[in-house]
Structure 1
Amino acid sequence: MLNRADLHGSLSEPLLDTMNFLNEVAGRYPEAISFAPGRPYDEFFSTEQVFDHLRRYLKHLEDEGRSAGQIRSAIYQYGPTAGQIRELIAEALRIDEGIEVPAESIVVTVGAQEAMLLVVRALTSGPDDVLLVSSPCYVGVCGAARLLDVEVVPVIERADGLAPADVEEAVRIQLARGRRPRALYVIPDHSNPAGTTMTLAARRELLAVAARTGLTVLEDSPYRLVSPGAQLPTLKALDTGRVVVHLGSFAKTVFPGARVGFAVADQEVADATGRVGLLADELTKIKSMVTVNTSSLSQAVVAGALLSAGGGVTALNAGPAAHYGASMCLVLDHLDRRLPAARRDELGVTWNRPSGGFFLSVRVPFVADNAALIRSAEQFGVLWTPMSYFYPGPGGERAIRLSTSYLTEAEIAEGVARLADFIDVEAESRVRSTRLSDRRQ
């Protein structure tokens, strides 16, 4: 029998148990309405679309003059480690985001999660290297860093997103500790979990901070093209100094089961002989020892989806973006109705109002931990995610994350009603406990 203490330390971290715990609770209370999963809405997917996209890509290869044998190999064989649809992704980035990069600067990955792992591994070379992250933060990048034994340093987000001055101060503090800040991970648009969006001025200043301090910015941006209205430019589109590695995913825009993501890594890397290559080439070396390559079949389906939409995904996601925007508004509207301003002021409840994405954050006057989540599921039939899951350090103990993407209108209405009842009861219970404690003193 193996001893847990002899296994890698990350396996004893609560961080790696968080998603399993949520899945376990959802399985135990199948009738509960869940605001926990950040999943796309199922009704946008059709099984036949998979075959349509695959046929469209096969026709594309045929139109390019590929032989029957070459087309067969493109589907059945491993394919190049860096990916076989890099040109199509580069064109989609140009159409959708105004990002102009050569195809060879792109590495196609098994979801954005692998892209995070590859980039963090490539950029950190010693025990003094640290990764800065906006906090609260997507748990996947913190998990990847922990697996690699890379220290994570949180930079607390403000109401309007990450403040460049806070990043620069964090760099100064880490340098004073003898640490080497190597990179900063941030979701500038409709962040997961808080739903914040950085202003244009903050984006420009963050790039200036990165240039001054030598930071590489890891920009994760999965929610832009499934959000309504015009979006601010990505950090990569504004990046004239090649300080940004752009992490992308087709999980939200095409479908999550394909597990196709990518990294745009056009930074130049010089070796000891003076030969210059791209960071993408270094990521490809690591990928060859991690997943070898990304599924050729999955790449083909994603490529077919891009081709069917004229090369980009903006047109493909016009309907979903409108739907997700409406779902966010509907959740906020029902929250306003169930917990009107006077009542939430009395209870000490607040929430933000994201302009897009899948998530919003609700601050509550009680500890929103796993025990509270179980009470919510058992007594009220509603699930959510504790915000404390997303803090690399202390924080988020009195806040919850709500996902607005996955539920129907009827489920949203009923789910918010149940959630409001739960918050009301928990808040009142805390008030009674406080009064009793005060009397005893």
Structure 2
Amino acid sequence: MVTDVVATDVTVTEMVEMVRRPRVVRRADLHASVSDPAAASMNFLNEVAGRFPDAVSLAAGRPYDGFYTAHDIDRFLAVYRGHLAERGLSAAQIDRTLLQYGRTNGVIGDLIARMLATDEGIEVPSDAVMVTAGCQEAMIIALRGLCSGPDDVVLAVEPCYVGFTGAARILDIDVVPVPEAPDGLDPEAVVRVAAEVRASGRRPRALYVVPNFANPSGVSMPVPARKRLLEAAREADLLILEDDPYGLFGLDDEPRPTLKALDSDHSVIYLGSFAKSVFPGARVGFLVADQPVVDAAHHRTLLADELSTVKSMLTVNTSPIAQAVVGGMLIDSEFSLRTANRGKVEHYRTNLRTLLESLSREFGDDPRMRWNAPEGGFFAVLDVPFEADEELLEVSARDYGVLWTPMSYFYGSGGGECAIRLSCSVLEPSQVEEGVRRLGKLVRDRAS
């Protein structure tokens, strides 16, 4: 069959070039989360760290590498396989459990529930536990499930972990800040901000908070404030999203009950992670959502069951192999992360004490310098008498050999310009001391 040829001014060569030319996507047409300032800032921090690998990093908040070996994977996997065999599963059933698609909400929910009861006094049914691909997925699932309309917003303590604000941005959910006080979130401020949100015609659905040794501030809420926060949430008709990645790592053994352990009326959705307590590469987190859900026909389910639909469309299910590794660790430690992490706790305690002692030694005679003294965790905040921005961070890495994180990264609309977050988790104590010494030289040079 012969087709008609339409005469044009375009030559054959030009037509070939047009076909070869790559399709260009305008950045302005992409979702706002692609150009999220907080995410871009963290990317900048990673890029600077890559260009100056010899700089001491007081910026990285990841766990210490010395606690992990690849042999742990084989060991814990063998423990979990033995556990399944003891439950009567055949070899073929064990292989299917590990290698096939699994239950959307996970296969180790019962083990996590036992761990929560042992370590935290949290008593929930295993069906209330959803195993997620890291805690970041748990945040996204909770946000997507709770916020159903354009007027739904979430409240969050500020300064705030950028992973949470970034997750909300991906979902086009507005985050309304509640300023953090020196001793943690003020429950009365939560009530006030929630009322202001309602007066503006929007609906506050939940409050995000890290009660134990928060990232980035290191602040921990006193127990009376935790109890009052639960009352405030009821008054403001809010669910609480409690994130607890650092609760194991206090400077002492003083009990600090989670909000979920104090929760008597299902006001708290508990977000957990095994990144710090097992190893980050497993990418296993979880959420506990034991809130009853009632439909129009008065049929009752658990919120965790309802949220499974969101997860099934997000990641289908969390890797059963990764779950098995974490499950093996829980079995091996008799369902106690506190038992399994004794060595890590001592390391992080030593490092935080070293950081605080080094700051006192380096800046104790300078009245312009202030820093907080967290009771645990990975982070402390240093206030400085000048703007600590990305330009200064570049100078710090290149000329002084030390990295840190601008606190401005953790504010949504201004704040933290003259403060820096210091992390001590990934280093040896001697490296912490050297990092603070280098930081001291930078600060004195810049301040003078």
State the TM-score, normalizing by the size of structure 1. Answer: 0.95
Q: Match for residue 291 of structure 1?
A: 315
Tell me, in whole angstroms, the C-alpha distance in 1 between the residues paired with 2:362 and 2:213: 24
Larger Rg: 2
Deviation at 1:172, TM superposition (A): 1.0
Q: Which of residues 283, 289, 304 is equivalent to 2:328? A: 304
Whether 1:317 aligns to 2:341 is yes
Deviation at 1:427, TM superposition (A): 1.3
Kindly report the root-mean-square deviation, in angstroms, between the aligned alpha carbons of the 2 structures: 0.9
Q: Match for residue 411 of structure 2?
A: 391
Tell me, in whole angstroms, the C-alpha distance in 1 between the residues paired with 2:362 and 2:129: 47
Tell me, in whole angstroms, the C-alpha distance in 1 between the residues paired with 2:255 and 2:27: 47
**Is the contact between residue 350 and residue 429 of structure 2 (CA under 8 Å) also seen in structure 1?**
no
Tell me, in whole angstroms, the C-alpha distance in 2 between the residues paired with 1:130 and 1:150: 6
Tell me, in whole angstroms, the C-alpha distance in 1 between the residues paired with 2:61 and 2:175: 23
Query: 1:221-269 deviations in whole A, cap 9, x for unaligned?
Result: 0001133423310000000010000000000001111000000000111
What amino acid does structure 1 have at the position aligned with 2:338? T
Tell me, in whole angstroms, the C-alpha distance in 2 between the residues paired with 1:186 and 1:301: 29
Whether 1:169 aligns to 2:212 is no
Q: Match for residue 268 of structure 1?
A: 292
Q: Match for residue 220 of structure 2?
A: 197
Whether 1:156 aligns to 2:204 is no
Helix, strand or coil for the counterpart of 1:70? helix
Helix, strand or coil for the counterpart of 1:50? helix
Deviation at 1:203, TM superposition (A): 0.4
Deviation at 1:336, TM superposition (A): 1.1
**Is the contact between residue 111 and residue 259 of structure 1 (CA under 8 Å) also seen in structure 2?**
yes
Identity in percent: 51
Tell me, in whole angstroms, the C-alpha distance in 2 between the residues paired with 1:322 and 1:350: 26
Task: For structure 2, list consecutive stretches of 5 or more residues without a partner in the other structure.
Answer: 1-23
Q: Which of residues 154, 162, 170 is equivalent to 1:139? A: 162
Task: For structure 1, list consecutive stretches of 5 or more residues without a partner in the other structure.
Answer: 429-441
Q: Match for residue 111 of structure 1?
A: 134
Whether 1:188 aligns to 2:205 is no
Deviation at 1:16, TM superposition (A): 2.1
Helix, strand or coil for the counterpart of 1:329? helix
Helix, strand or coil for the counterpart of 1:413? helix
What amino acid does structure 2 have at the position aligned with 1:72? D
What amino acid does structure 2 have at the position aligned with 1:220? D
Deviation at 1:272, TM superposition (A): 2.0
Structure-to-structure mapping, 1:89-104, within 5 angstroms: 89-104=112-127
Tell me, in whole angstroms, the C-alpha distance in 1 between the residues paired with 2:383 and 2:158: 15
Deviation at 1:126, TM superposition (A): 1.0
What amino acid does structure 2 have at the position aligned with 1:408? E
Deviation at 1:19, TM superposition (A): 1.8
Q: Which of residues 212, 226, 236 is equivalent to 2:260? A: 236
Q: Match for residue 436 of structure 1?
A: none
Q: Match for residue 390 of structure 2?
A: 370
State the TM-score, normalizing by the size of structure 2. Answer: 0.93
Tell me, in whole angstroms, the C-alpha distance in 2 between the residues paired with 1:17 and 1:162: 27
Tell me, in whole angstroms, the C-alpha distance in 1 between the residues paired with 2:39 and 2:438: 29
Query: 1:307-353 deviations in whole A, cap 9, x for unaligned?
Result: 1111121100111111101100001111111112x32x0xx210000
Helix, strand or coil for the counterpart of 1:152? strand
Q: Say how many residue pairs are matched.
A: 424
Tell me, in whole angstroms, the C-alpha distance in 2 between the residues paired with 1:22 and 1:77: 38
Tell me, in whole angstroms, the C-alpha distance in 2 between the residues paired with 1:296 and 1:165: 43
